[in-house]
């Protein structure tokens, strides 16, 4: 066994020396290969990290959200529904919530208006996210104007700006008092945007939601797990867009690599003939080409994955972040927490290393089975 390992070590040393002799050709192949792996790995890392961020953000989301729907359209919900729903067995609490969106025509951005349950800003003041502060060039003490539902101008003083560290959640966020929100949106005192529920037992979410639908047919209960599945599907779709584009580049590379692997150059055929003439066996030739494929593909895999990791978690994924983030104007500044799906990474490793390594063996076997004199001639 030790003799066999020494034999493979010597073959590997010769293979690496041969690759270095053709460093121009080898470098070009590794560079193209690395680019394909880099694109695929970046899409993988970014999509998985965003799904992880969504899970962390939504873990504190309401267990059940109850919305009202009239003829298929979203509508404010009467606050009296909260008392009736709170009496359903299994429901710990039911609280009305006020929030909505405001489109700023000047900056062409959508803001999210929220009335916090506790510590509401004083009437006439608002708390804004870092994205809005940058977009509107606003600082604490400045005035920001909005147009109400009735066309009347409303002005609010910026009490403070939320920290940038919470950019993923609060970049487009405006915290406002209940009185100011109702004056701006036109929602009367007896109605709310939706209801948020707390349930005793997580296993009863579906049962409670069904009871709400039966008692109030005009409502739509949304369980937190449904939101998580929606975000997961969304990020999978956005990641799939980049993966398809990367796959097209990968297909072009496969054609290039297959042409390179299946068509040995005259120099490589001569090298094989010389090795056969000095006593190398066909199995040794195949082992050499196998190690050559492993060296090229595995090096490209390591470089591509490393560059993809740095691109996503240190470079902000600047190449295709707008495609995957999805915000139209306000792009939150945040650094993703490194999260790697080793199962998907292993699949990329298999698809990158195995096909190329195998494709180098077939033409080498054909050349190795020819008489050395014929090859040299």
First and final C-alpha spacing in the chain = 37
**Closest of 286, 308, 303 to residue 29, by C-alpha:** 303
For residues 300 and 27, is the Cβ–Cβ distance under 8 A?
Answer: no
* Rounded-to-integer distance, Cα 150 and Cα 171, Å: 27
Which CATH number does 64-217 carry?
2.40.40.20
Residues forming CATH 2.40.40.20 domain(s) in the chain: 64-217
How many angstroms separate the Cα of 89 from the Cα of each of 34, 79, 195, 223, 372?
Answer: 58, 19, 17, 17, 86
Name the one residue in this structure whose structure tokens are 């910026």.
Answer: 158
Q: What is the pLDDT of residue 215?
A: 92
Angle at 196 between CA 193 and CA 199, to 5 degrees: 160
β-bridge pairing 109-114 and 173-176: parallel
Per-residue H/E/C for the chain: CHHHHHHHHHHHHHHHHHHHHCHHHHHHHHHHHHHHHHHHHHHHHHHHHHHHHHHHHHCCCCCEEEEEEECCEEECEECHHHHHHHCCCCEEEEEEECEEEEEECCCCEEEEEECCCCCCCCCCEEEECHHHHHHHCCCCCCEEEEECCCCCEEEEEEEEECCHHHHHHHCCEEEECHHHHHHHHCCCCCEECEEEEEECCHHHHHHHHHHHHHHCCCEEEEEHHHHHHHHHHHHHHHHHHHHHHHHHHHHHHHHHHHHHHHCCCHHHHHHHHHHHHCCCCHHHHHHHHHHHHHHHHHHHHHHHHHHHHHHHHCCCCCCCHHHHHCCCCCCCCCCCCCCCCHHHHHHHHHHHHHHHHHHCHHHHHHHHCCCHHHHHC
- Mark 211-246 as b/e (b = at least 16 C-beta within 10 Å): bbeeebeebbbbbbeeebeebeeebeebbeebbeeb
In this prediction, residue 306 carries a pLDDT of 93
Answer whether 117's CB lies under 8 Å from 336's CB.
no
Burial class (CB in 10 A: 0-12, 13-18, 19+), 279: exposed
pLDDT on residue 157 = 95
CB 90 within 8 A of CB 200: yes
pTM: 0.65
| Whole-number Å distance between alpha carbons of 173 and 113 | 6
Per-residue pLDDT of the chain (377 residues; tens, 9 = 90+): 566 677 777 777 777 787 787 788 788 888 888 888 888 888 788 777 777 776 776 676 788 899 998 887 889 999 999 999 999 988 989 999 999 999 888 878 889 999 998 889 999 999 998 888 888 889 999 999 999 988 889 999 999 998 765 555 677 889 999 999 999 999 999 999 999 998 888 788 888 999 999 999 999 998 887 777 776 666 555 555 555 655 555 565 565 555 555 556 666 666 776 776 666 777 777 778 788 888 888 898 999 999 989 988 888 777 766 655 554 555 555 566 777 778 878 877 887 777 777 777 766 666 666 665 655 55
Encode burial over 63-85: b for 16+ CB neighbours within 10 A, e otherwise. Answer: bbbbbbeeeeeeebbbeebbeeb
Q: Say how many residues make up the chain.
A: 377
Inter-CA distances, 161 with 75, 124, 172, 209, 308, Å: 31, 15, 11, 37, 33
């Amino acid at each position: 066994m030790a003799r066999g390992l020494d034999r493979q070590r010597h073959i590997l040393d010769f293979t690496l020396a041969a690759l270095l002799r053709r460093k121009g050709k080898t470098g070009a192949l590794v560079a193209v290969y690395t680019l394909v792996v880099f694109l695929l790995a970046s899409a993988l890392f970014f999509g998985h990290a965003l799904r992880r961020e969504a899970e962390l953000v939504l873990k504190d989301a309401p267990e059940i959200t109850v919305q009202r729907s009239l003829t298929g359209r979203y509508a404010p919900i009467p606050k009296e529904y909260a008392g009736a729903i709170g009496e359903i067995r299994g429901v710990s609490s039911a609280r009305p919530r006020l929030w909505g969106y405001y489109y700023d025509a000047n900056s062409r951005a959508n803001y999210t208006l929220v009335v916090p349950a506790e510590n509401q800003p004083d009437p006439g003041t608002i708390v804004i996210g870092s994205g809005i502060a940058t977009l509107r060039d606003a600082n604490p003490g400045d005035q920001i104007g909005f147009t109400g539902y009735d066309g009347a101008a409303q002005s609010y003083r910026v009490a403070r700006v939320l920290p940038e560290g919470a950019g993923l959640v609060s970049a487009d966020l405006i915290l406002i008092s209940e009185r100011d929100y109702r004056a701006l949106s036109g929602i009367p005192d007896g109605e709310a945007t939706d209801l948020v529920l707390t349930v005793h037992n997580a296993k009863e979410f579906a049962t409670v939601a069904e009871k709400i639908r039966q008692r109030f047919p005009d409502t739509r209960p949304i369980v937190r797990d449904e939101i998580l599945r929606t975000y997961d599907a969304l990020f999978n779709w956005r990641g799939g867009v980049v993966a398809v584009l990367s796959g097209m580049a990968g297909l072009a590379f496969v054609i290039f690599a297959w042409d390179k692997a299946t068509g040995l150059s005259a120099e490589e055929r001569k090298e094989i003939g010389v090795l056969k003439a000095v006593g190398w066996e066909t199995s040794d030739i195949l082992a050499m080409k196998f190690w050559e494929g492993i060296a090229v593909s595995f090096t490209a895999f390591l470089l591509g994955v490393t560059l993809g990791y740095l691109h996503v978690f240190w470079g902000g994924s600047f190449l295709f972040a707008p495609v995957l983030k999805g915000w139209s104007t306000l792009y939150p500044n945040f650094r993703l927490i490194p999260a790697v799906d080793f199962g998907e990474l292993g699949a990329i490793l298999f698809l990158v290393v195995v096909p190329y390594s195998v494709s180098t063996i077939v033409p080498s076997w054909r050349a190795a089975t020819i008489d050395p004199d014929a090859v040299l001639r």
